């Protein structure tokens, strides 16, 4: 499963790209508004440091304006993915933009039917929001499993990009359910490596080695 960072902060992203484990980035208007940088400057910096897809979301609500914004965003860099909302206008924009050769991320997905429509519109990625479904009293992981089944039934190439991922258990469940990608807040990405038994085991190894009086270098 590929791991994306859900952030629009170039400095924050740069620190984690250095691990070599980041496959892409997703941004949205809310994340972009939190940074002090102009949107296009931030996206250019992110695209230069990230080897894979960088989702940049349109802010228009009509298909015509989404297409115009998407085409402008796509000029920033070759790895820009245009993100559109899962509305009728968003799907029409997706159909046009994907037909023109752009990669498109259809976001704010909450049902298998919506995911089916996005795939038929040519979406490169579908972004189901699992955490928000959990907040509303549903099991967000059910949606990942159902979309996986639908896409596999008909050999759709649209990749499932799990979004609104809240904790490490979500990440594990997404990987087990067959999500292609999970996009994670930086703090959650950092937490994936943590386990108390790893820390305890390493401390024991180091103490034993210290008592041996040996050195590798």
Active site residue ranges:
83
Please state, in angstroms and as integers, the Cα–Cα distance from residue 185 to each residue in 129, 148, 163, 171, following that order: 13, 23, 10, 12
- Residue 207, H or E segment: helix 196-212
φ/ψ (deg, to 5) at 180: -75, -35
CB atoms within 10 A of CB 97: 27
15 DSSP assignment: H
**Rounded Cα–Cα distance for residues 207 and 213 (Å):** 10
In the numeric block, which tokens belong to residue 120?
A: 């038929």
Which residue in the block uniquely carries the two structure tokens 């039917």?
A: 113
Please state, in angstroms and as integers, the Cα–Cα distance from residue 172 to each residue in 90, 163, 165, following that order: 30, 13, 11
Residue by residue, DSSP assigns 29-76 as HHHHHHSSS-HHHHHHHHHHH-SS-EEEE---SSHHHHHHHHHHHHTS
């Amino acid at each position: 499963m590929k791991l994306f960072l859900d952030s629009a902060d170039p400095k924050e992203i740069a620190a984690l790209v250095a691990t070599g484990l980041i496959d892409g980035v997703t941004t949205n208007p809310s994340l972009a508004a939190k940074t002090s940088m102009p949107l296009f400057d931030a996206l250019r910096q992110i695209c230069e440091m990230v080897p894979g897809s960088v989702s940049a979301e349109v802010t228009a609500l009509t298909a015509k304006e989404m297409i115009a914004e998407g085409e402008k965003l796509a000029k920033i860099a070759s790895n820009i993915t245009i993100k559109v909302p899962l509305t009728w206008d968003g799907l029409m924009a997706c159909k046009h933009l994907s037909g023109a050769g752009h990669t498109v991320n259809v976001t704010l997905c909450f049902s298998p039917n919506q995911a089916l429509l996005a795939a038929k519109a040519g979406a490169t990625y579908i972004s189901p929001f699992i955490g928000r479904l959990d907040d509303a009293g549903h099991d967000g992981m059910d949606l990942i499993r159902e979309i996986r089944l639908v896409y596999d039934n008909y050999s759709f190439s649209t990749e499932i990009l799990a979004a609104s991922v809240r904790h490490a258990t979500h990440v594990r469940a997404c990987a087990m359910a067959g999500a292609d990608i999970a996009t994670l807040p930086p703090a959650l990405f950092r937490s994936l490596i943590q386990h108390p038994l790893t820390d305890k085991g390493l401390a024991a190894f180091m103490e034993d080695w210290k008592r041996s009086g040996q050195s590798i270098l």
